[in-house]
Amino acid sequence: MKFETAIIHIKEKPFKDNLEGDVVKSIHLTSTYSLQDIEVEGLFYQRYDNQTRLALEEKLAYAEKCKYCLVFSSGMAAITSVIFSLLNQNSKILAFDDLYSVTKKVFNYFLPKYNITTEYVDFSKDFKIDKNVTMVWLESPTNPMMKMVNVREVVKKIKSENSECIIVFDNTFLSPYFYNPVDDGVDVVVHSLTKYINGHSDCLGGAVMTNNDQIYQKIKEYRNTFGNALSPFDSYLVLRGLKTLPVRMEKHQQNCLKVIEYLKTKSFVKEIFYPSFSSFISPNVRGFGGTVSFLVDLDIDNLRLFFKSLKIINYGVSLGGVESLICLPHFSTHKGIEGIPYNLVRLSVGIENVEDIIQDLENAFSKIQIKVY
């Protein structure tokens, strides 16, 4: 089956997959299960496994071309579960220098308590990897500067110099529809399901995918013990959102490209950050999604005026929902992180009519009275 068909029908076949005539997976809310023997086998307690959650995991594993998937109560629950289940004291992480701020917070403030160190490098340039590096952490495009790297070449270099280290890739921005990191040799894929995969801004969720049996067992045991699995109801919401991922991603990207063309015409916009097909990316990347960052030539007062003038685009954090969201990472998602300019705008372009999105931006820009520089 093709991607679009599989994510609709896997584990949701009527009269099979524990369904009656249902054409969608039921929400199984039970916290515990009646057992038919004194030996515990199969489903027995929701913290370990649940029918709705298992259906979502099977679909997501397929979507990322992986053998295994585990879903979690948030993207950060997934990220921290990978870190704490796979690393030991005195481990070392090599990470992209432009990352999601909360991932950096874990690396910078929590891991040093366990003598786990992190070195930041720009993987788009030449880099070195020590033999004592235990884990490599990648994003591409990065959040919020939208840097891209050729993951295939980066992984090849890392594995040739340190074959034992685990390579983790956060694929939240591209989604499995536009990219599958395992095609380029990545060991572990993580997602914030909250973003594009769910796509409706109505639940939190995270996921970890891998083909490695040992890695899967370690992370699953961690989740079973610490109890940060995705709830059945949120699993159902993500199952529902996942089915429209292909059409949403195409529309997000289509709208985003038109918004970028509009932004190029505005004198206030100094620089636009959005990936493009080039020799600097993996040939396995099929698209770039609907998020763009750009620098504006405005002071704080004019920035505030611009955002307050928006009527359709909401000012708020997160991304990947059907509605357009805009924020200043310096003051919100990446507050306190060095190197993020105050006038960097991140826009998650939704699937509204693109003419309405552009007109909303135009109306807000028209309120600006003073050019600062």
Q: Mark which of 242, 260, 285 sits at the end of a domain.
A: 242
In a domain, 371, yes or no: no
In a domain, 372, yes or no: no
Say which CATH number the domain at 187 has.
3.40.640.10
In a domain, 204, yes or no: yes
Say which CATH number the domain at 314 has.
3.90.1150.10
In a domain, 179, yes or no: yes
In a domain, 373, yes or no: no
39 and 119 in a common domain:
yes
| Number of folded domains that form the chain | 2
- CA–CA dist 36, 207 (Å, integer): 31
* Helix or strand (DSSP H, E) at 161: helix 151-161
- CA–CA dist 59, 68 (Å, integer): 10
284 and 170 in a common domain:
no
- What is the identity of the amino acid at 326? I
141 and 250 in a common domain:
no
Q: What is the mean pLDDT of residues 300-322?
A: 96
Q: Mark which of 192, 224, 242 sits at the end of a domain.
A: 242
269 and 250 in a common domain:
yes
pLDDT at 313 over 50: yes
Q: Give the strand order in the sheet containing 166-170.
A: 68-72, 206-210, 188-192, 166-170, 135-139, 92-96, 117-121
168 and 95 in a common domain:
yes
Of 245-249, 260-264, 296-300, 336-340, the least confident: 336-340
Token representation of residue 127: 């880099």
What is the per-residue pLDDT for 372? 46
Of the candidates 287, 222, 220, the residue with the CA atom closest to the CA atom of residue 61: 220
pLDDT, tens digit, for every residue of 150-183?
999 999 999 999 999 999 999 999 999 999 999 9
pLDDT at 373 over 50: no
Q: In percent, how much of the chain has pLDDT > 90?
A: 83
Write out the residue range of the structural domain in which residue 68 sits.
3-242
pLDDT at 279 over 70: no
211 and 293 in a common domain:
no
In a domain, 272, yes or no: yes
Q: How confident is the model at residue 41 (pLDDT cuts 50, 70, 90)?
A: confident
Q: What is the mean pLDDT of residues 142-146?
A: 91
Q: Mark which of 242, 258, 293 sits at the end of a domain.
A: 242
DSSP assignment, residue 230?
P
DSSP 236-270: HHHHHHHTTHHHHHHHHHHHHHHHHHHHTT-TTEE
What is the per-residue pLDDT for 370? 60
250 and 223 in a common domain:
no
- What is the identity of the amino acid at 43? L
With vertex at residue 219, the alpha carbon angle to CA 1 and CA 93, rounded to the nearest 5 degrees, is: 105
- CA–CA dist 161, 128 (Å, integer): 9
301 and 167 in a common domain:
no
230 and 136 in a common domain:
yes
Residue 357: phi, psi to the nearest 5? -60, -50
76 and 220 in a common domain:
yes
295 and 228 in a common domain:
no
Token representation of residue 68: 């295994």
Token representation of residue 11: 């584990």
Instruction: Tell me if 148 sits within 8 A of 169, measured CB to CB.
Output: no
173 and 58 in a common domain:
yes
